[in-house]
Structure 1
Amino acid sequence: MTMAEITGFVADLDGVLTVRPGPDDGSPEISWGDTYFFYAPDGAVPTATQPFATLVTKNHPGDELSRLDRPDTFRLNVGAGRDAFAAATGRAPREAVPDDDTTDPGAVDTLIAHPVYGSLGWLAVVDPGPRTERAVRELLRTAHHLARARHERRAHTAPSGVITDR
């Protein structure tokens, strides 16, 4: 799957805001060229939530294990949640990685726990391809559903934590 194919697939999900930082928007240079997917039916970047998926095109400080400095390499990151994470990895997000785990975070077309954010239920795939395409599509749907559910819960809760409408 190409970045354009992934972006097109996600754009077809309801309420998605796609953000591509660049030099003219005040975003940090390290984010330029990356893509962030938010559930934002109002079209505004949410201030109190993270994207539900990202496409990164380069190594970030402290996140070099996927070796994104290789030519034409990118990584899809998906906030899959506990259940999808456990189904994909065989363990809960906060469980320690088994000592015998030989997963290469830079392996292409391989679904892995995110090298940095796996403990938060994030999964990743470097250069998704035929082996991971079906899983990638399902994970993106799941992450979108989770983001929409969080948004809807917040929309029904006042800042004081009082439920205002159900």
Structure 2
Amino acid sequence: MLLTTIRDRIKSEFENVRDVEAGGDFFFMYKDEEKFPFATIVTSDNDFDSVSNLNRDGFYRLNIGIDKATFQQLFASIPAKAGIGGYVDSGIDFTEVNTLFPHPFYGTMYWVSIVNPAEDSYPQLKGFLDYAYEKAKMNYEKGHPAA
């Protein structure tokens, strides 16, 4: 799937979503949330994260925050270190296309990633996006009670 296809779907399938672009990457926020995206699309390597080799032409990685139970069902067998970067040295090939894996740096916070997902992966990803969006919406509304 093209990056623009996923980006357009997220913006059209979920209400009150805005995507903030920074350095060619996209951060999907609920309403005017400024700090916590529910999903991101990363389009290039940087000094902090280069394990997916995204500097290849046309490559990107979709990242989504999911729930702990689902994350553990998917990845319980993969050893991780505690903290940020917990999956970097886990033996996962983070460059593999259309394969769901724990986010190399934020997997310990229950984020999943997929490089250049294919159309047949979207139903599963949509389920993850549904959860992430609802969680972001709930968290936003807790901090912004109706007047």
Which sections of structure 2, spanning at least 5 residues, go unmatched? none
Alignment partners' CA distance in 1, 2:101 and 2:142: 29
Matched residue SS, 1:14: coil
Whether the aligned pair in 2 keeps the contact of 1:75 and 1:125 (CA below 8 Å) is yes
Given the alignment, which residue of 115, 119, 124 partners 2:113?
124
Task: Show the counterpart of 1:27.
Answer: none
1:62 aligned partner: 48
1:122-144 superposed Cα distances (whole Å, 9 cap, x missing partner): 11000011452221111111110
| TM-score (normalised: structure 2) | 0.83
Question: Sequence identity, in percent?
Answer: 28
**Corresponding position: 1:10 with 2:10:** yes
| Structure 1: gaps (5+ residues) | 22-31, 157-163
Q: Which structure's CA Rg is the greater one?
A: 1
Where does 1:8-87 land on structure 2 (aligned, <5 Å)? 8-12=8-12, 13-21=14-22, 32-40=23-31, 44=32, 46-47=33-34, 49-87=35-73
Tell me, in whole angstroms, the C-alpha distance in 2 between the residues paired with 1:87 and 1:14.
29
Give the structure, 1 or 2, with the largest relative contact order (CA under 8 Å, sep 6 or more): 2
What RMSD in Å do the two structures reach over aligned CA positions?
A: 2.6
One of 75, 81, 102 as aligned partner of 1:89: 75
Q: Secondary structure at the match of 2:128?
A: helix
Q: Does 1:108 align with 2:97?
A: yes
With the length of structure 1 as denominator, give the TM-score of the two structures: 0.74
Q: Which moved more, 1:76-85 or 1:4-13?
A: 76-85
